[in-house]
Chains A and B, each alone.
Chain A
Amino acid sequence: KAGVTQTPRYLIKTRGQQVTLSCSPISGHRSVSWYQQTPGQGLQFLFEYFSETQRNKGNFPGRFSGRQFSNSRSEMNVSTLELGDSALYLCASSLELTGELFFGEGSRLTVL
């Protein structure tokens, strides 16, 4: 069974630009969540989607948004990039309503 796939793996953007990250969950997993990982801050929850509906949203500004498609694939978008948005963005899928998260390898975003 294929794992969680995230694209792109690495990207460099400049301040003010916008970026879209993609996540393909494990087949059969309907829950997809996104986390921002930075040194010293650990993993911070961005949002979670289940069957195309956003179930939960973390404490991030409105510049961070996401969506989920009918095939459970998910995208997150960050508009008007700031230097502080540089981070590893991890996507995770889950089979259960509250259960084990299967993480992708992440998309490493650098904002210059």
Chain B
Amino acid sequence: GENVEQHPSTLSVQEGDSAVIKCTYSDSASNYFPWYKQELGKRPQLIIDIRSNVGEKKDQRIAVTLNKTAKHFSLHITETQPEDSAVYFCAAANTGNQFYFGTGTSLTVIP
């Protein structure tokens, strides 16, 4: 089955700096790669996603890049703000809604 690895597990950045979280996957059949943000005590929520026919997608301060050849994808957050502090999960899926999640990155933005 699919195996998704996520790094780093914890990340601290100064407010205004950029944050990058990286994930690798093993199954070349995976074709949908979402990122979820989970604030403390809350449910995970989708922040951005990318499908395999696209190499990059951007939404304001958030961007995701996908390298299908190398089987890795990354989340980039620019101009970080304290409200970006949360746990971020990457995931990969093929057909159906069977998602394989990374183990999460705890991001702390220091004011």
> CB-defined interface of A80-100 with B at 8 Å, one 1/0 digit per residue?
000000000010101011111
A72 neighbours in B (Cβ, 8 Å): none
Q: Are B100 and A45 in contact (CB under 8 A)?
A: yes
29 A-B residue pairs with Cβ-Cβ distance under 8 Å, sorted by A, are A33-B99, A41-B103, A42-B103, A42-B104, A43-B101, A45-B98, A45-B101, A48-B97, A48-B98, A50-B96, A50-B97, A58-B98, A90-B43, A94-B97, A97-B97, A98-B93, A98-B95, A98-B96, A98-B97, A100-B46, A100-B49, A101-B36, A101-B46, A101-B97, A103-B43, A103-B45, A104-B43, A105-B43, A106-B43
Q: Cβ of A56 < 8 Å from any Cβ of B?
A: yes
In the assembled complex, A40 has its CB within 8 A of some CB on chain B? yes
| B97 near A31: Cβ-Cβ < 8 Å | yes
Chain A residues within an 8 Å CB radius of B94: 98
Q: Is the CB of A56 within 8 A of B96?
A: yes
Whether B44 contacts A97 by the Cβ 8 Å rule is no
Give the number of residue pairs across the A-B interface with Cβ within 8 Å. 71
Contact residues in A for B6 (Cβ distance below 8 Å):
42
**For A100, what are the chain B residues with a Cβ–Cβ distance below 8 Å?**
34, 46, 49
How many residues on the B side are at the interface (Cβ–Cβ under 8 A)? 26
Pair A98/B44 contact, Cβ less than 8 Å? no
Scan residues 5-61 of chain A and give those whose CB is less than 8 A from a CB of chain B. Answer: 31, 33, 35, 40-45, 48, 50, 55-56, 58-59
Residue in A closest to B44 when the chains form the complex, CB atoms? A103
| Residue interface bits B1-42, CB-to-A below 8 A is 1, else 0 | 100001000000000000000000000000110101000001
